[in-house]
Amino acid sequence: MGRGREIQTNTRRAAAIAAITTAAALACSGDSGGDTSGASATSTATATATAGSTSASSTAGTSANTETGSGSASASTSAGSTAGTDATSAATDATAGTTAATTAGTDATSAGTDATSAGTTGQPVEPECSDDLHQVVDPEGKVLETCPPDQGCAAGACVPACDAAAASKANFGCLFIAPTPPAYPPALPPCFAAFVANTWGHPSKLTLSRGGMPLDISVAARLVTPGLAPKDWPPVPAEGVPADAVAVIFLSSDPSAVMPETQVPLTCPHKPAVNASTVIKGSGRGDAFVIGADIPVTAYDMLPFGGAPSYFPSAELVFPTAVWGDNYVTMAPPAGTHTPPGPLYVQVVGLEDGTKVELRPTADLLQGTGLNGALAGQLAAYEVGAGEVLQWELPQTKVDPAGTVLLSDKPVGLFAGNRFLRLQPMPAPGGESTHQQNLAIAALGSAYVAAPYETRRKDLAPEEVDYRIVGVVDGTTLEYDPPIAGAPTTLAEGQVVDFATPLAFQITSQDADHPFALAQLMDTANLPGGSRPGATAKGFPPNLGDEEFVIVLPPAQFLTRYAFFTDPSYGTTNLVLTRAKKDGAFAPVTVDCLGEVGGWKPVGQGGLYEFTTADLVRADIGVNGCQNGHHLAESTGPFGLVVWGLDSYSSYAYPAGGAAAKLSDVMIIPQ
């Protein structure tokens, strides 16, 4: 623990990043295999070099017109094209401005940690932006100007919609890069799909590419249509995804994919963009899918799509490239109780060609074709191209990669997962794949609220919910409301602690300069006393849900509006909502088909947060007429939302959205 070096100024940050270039260049000249030590002898980045500032809040838009994709098999050759192949890239994520209109003023309760309202402090007469970015308003909320449908508000002015989204640092944007997650090892790679939700009020035209080559979006993308099975969904109209609609892009699948134990097909209901496996085998280099849009959208991915019959599904919120960072402390799932576990893996995805990456892993990273490995605790340096994926698989031991420190000279995306996670003390069926995209250190919070998912127990008693916490800075002290037995009170850099509680709780560190990461896990479907009703998938007993791993977003990143998608193949869909007090009161929250959500309970004694859960569908029966598919949740105050889909021995979960604004200047240098 504590082997990184913390710096908190942009000048010193730039110096550290500049030092990576030399280190990685030395290492990458031989980055085509070799011993597992990789670049362990590389000198670590320091704060003494000089370079221009490239802080996390300003680098996110530096490749404004780069629609990425790379066919690179070796970083030293820099093969792979920049994504000029996508017509939408000219407008995508072009500006990494500093206003976060979507979250401005929405986190008044988080002890001053809301860094998303930058640009107006001390200037009460200057124009601001409405929460939905469609209007320019004064400090009192009076509308000064309504932006045209293809524009949005940034820094108090109407600008192109993609620029406004990039400036907001929220989870909607115009450029997304998604690597294919490896999944259940015995199965051939199943259907990998992305969901794209459009709440902008103007149709959004999509593009798709991989490895620098455009893919036919007209074949791969389908419009989610209530009342129709996925196989009957129509193509997306030529003018794009309509306002307040959701499209599913079927990205890839092995055409022979089936669930080994049941022989149920795991292929896509429509021909995918790549009708073959796009999974990197073991460790190695590959290409990610690049999704472009000319109007901001929100994106999620799921593997496998229609996953209830697969028994190993997982989903994630995909962040737009405008909020990618250059410094991470990895949040990864645990190895679990299965022997052997996993395998676990880590993926680093490039936004620009020639990106230098340095990391210090907490576990051995295996070498693969065109990619050196790295030893635990030793520095390693790499180079990654635009749209290229570096994937390291771990040895199948009980050690996981959580706490690994990464620093790059340009923004990258960081993903982590477990191909087979089992969390149960007894030998019994069960286990799932998991994958989640990480937030950069700058976007991590120093205060979180953890709300338990709806109990699955037959007796309706609260479940002991598992949590994982990862420290970023040495000397971090933690307080809980209410107190949580077994939870850590201090954290060191890279320290990983697992604990469980049935309670909702608030957790805070001493200040914004001591951020940390928090994740929630669902454990086995084999619950004491059995499951409540909710599972309807055939082939296994009706034990509801199974292992899943999902990041928790801090209240400082809550929004006031979420568009989200729920998979129709799951018998039960439940929402977990957390709202923050604003201006001394809690604002009502509505979900389209449910109306105003009730049942709110306090979190601790502080009076700042409340949580509730709400079924959309239970055992295939819609609540208040709800159906799985596209949904919209709204409030005038900040709230968080996590979507859970559950069925027999299967579950998925993801945050329905959130900002990724800069909350601190903390930087950790791997050394």
Q: Give tens-digit pLDDT for 603-647.
A: 999 999 999 999 999 999 999 999 998 899 999 999 999 999 999
pLDDT grade for 259, boundaries at 50, 70 and 90: confident
- What is the pLDDT, as a whole number, of residue 427? 76
Closest by CA position to 331, among listed 222, 444, 438, 237: 438
Mean pLDDT for the stretch of residues 223-234: 91
pLDDT at 537 over 90: no
What residues are paired with 380 via a beta bridge? 359
For residue 324, pLDDT over 50 is answered with yes
The whole-angstrom separation of Cα 461 and Cα 438 is: 32
**Tokens 């990654």 found at:** 384
113/367: higher pLDDT: 367
Which stretch of 122-126, 381-385, 485-489, 494-498 has the lowest confidence by average pLDDT?
122-126
Confidence of residue 62 (pLDDT cuts 50, 70, 90): very low
- pLDDT of 227: 84
| Residue 642, H or E segment | strand 630-647
Q: Could you tell me the pTM of the whole model?
A: 0.85
Among 86-100, 390-404, 423-437, whose mean pLDDT is lowest?
Answer: 86-100
pLDDT at 236: 97
Q: Which two tokens stand for residue 446?
A: 């120093």
Q: What is the DSSP letter of 369?
A: B
Q: What average pLDDT does the chain have?
A: 85
Per-residue model confidence as pLDDT tens digits over 27-45:
544 444 333 333 333 333 3
User: Could you tell me the pLDDT band of residue 541, with boundaries at 50, 70 and 90?
Assistant: confident
Note the pLDDT tens digit of each residue in 75-113.
333 333 333 334 334 333 433 333 333 333 333 333 333
Residue of 653 and 44 predicted with greater confidence: 653
Residue carrying structure tokens 């037959």: 458
Average pLDDT over residues 48-75: 34
**Structure confidence at residue 22 (pLDDT):** 58
| Separation between Cα atoms, residue 498 and residue 250, nearest integer Å | 35
Whole-angstrom CA distances from 300 to 192, 205, 247, 319, 320 are 11, 17, 11, 8, 10
pLDDT higher than 90, residue 458? yes
- Going by C-alpha positions, the residue among 441, 172, 449 that lies closest to residue 297 is 172
Residue 419 pLDDT more than 60?
yes
Percent of the chain with pLDDT over 90: 73
User: Among candidates 133, 147, 134, 143, which has minimal Cα distance to 104?
Assistant: 133
Over residues 138-144, the mean pLDDT reads 92
Q: Cα 268 to chain center, whole Å?
A: 23
Give strand pairing partners of 643.
Answer: 575, 654
Q: In which band, very low, low, confident or very high, does the pLDDT at 200 lie, cut at 50, 70 and 90?
A: very high
By residue count, the chain amounts to 671
* Long-range own/partner contacts, residues 588-592 (CB < 8 A, 24 or more apart): 588/635, 588/636, 589/633, 589/634, 589/635, 589/637, 589/639, 590/633, 590/634, 590/635, 591/616, 591/631, 591/632, 591/633, 592/631, 592/632, 592/633
Task: Identify the burial level of 504 via C-beta atoms within 10 angstroms of its C-beta, where 0-12 means exposed, 13-18 middle and 19 or more buried.
Answer: buried
Instruction: Evaluate if residue 64 carries a pLDDT over 50.
Output: no
Per-residue model confidence (pLDDT) at position 433: 93
Q: ∠111-113-116 over CA atoms, to 5°?
A: 135
Going from N- to C-terminal start, the domains of the chain cover 174-669
**Spatial separation of the C-alpha atoms in residues 293 and 204, rounded to whole Å:** 6
